[in-house]
Amino acid sequence: MPTTIDEAVGILLTDLRLKDRTRLGKMTPQELDWINQVVGRQIIRDFRLWSGNELLLHACLKAMAKMDKEDEDPAMAIIRALWGKLQQTHVLRLVK
């Protein structure tokens, strides 16, 4: 069970196919809400955010407060961190 957002992101990355990593990396911040609707509940369930994984829940709430997003679902902190990592590693860029 992950206790930090980075650990949760690492677990999610091992489960995502390259095609899905690239697709998620290309999404806009606004499209992340759709990802949360589709995957957020599964993240909450799998990582036990509301049922026993207080360390990860606290990390998510702290990250949301830093982003001034306290009204969002804690799973969004993990999704945003995953997206940020994929923005660095899985976005195709034009090489001149």
Per DSSP, the residues of 13-73 read HHHS-HHHHHHHHT--GGGHHHHHHHHHHHHHHHTTTTTT-HHHHHHHHHHHHHTT-TTS-
More confident: 92 or 17? 17
Whole-structure pTM value: 0.87
User: Given pLDDT bands bounded at 50, 70 and 90, which one contains residue 96?
Assistant: low
Residue 77 · residue 47 · CB < 8 Å: no
Residue numbers of the domain that contains 40? 5-88
Q: Is 94 within a domain?
A: no
Burial class (CB in 10 A: 0-12, 13-18, 19+), 34: exposed
Q: Is 34 within a domain?
A: yes
* Segment 41-72, tens digit of pLDDT: 999 999 999 999 999 999 999 999 998 887 78
Q: How many domains does the chain have?
A: 1
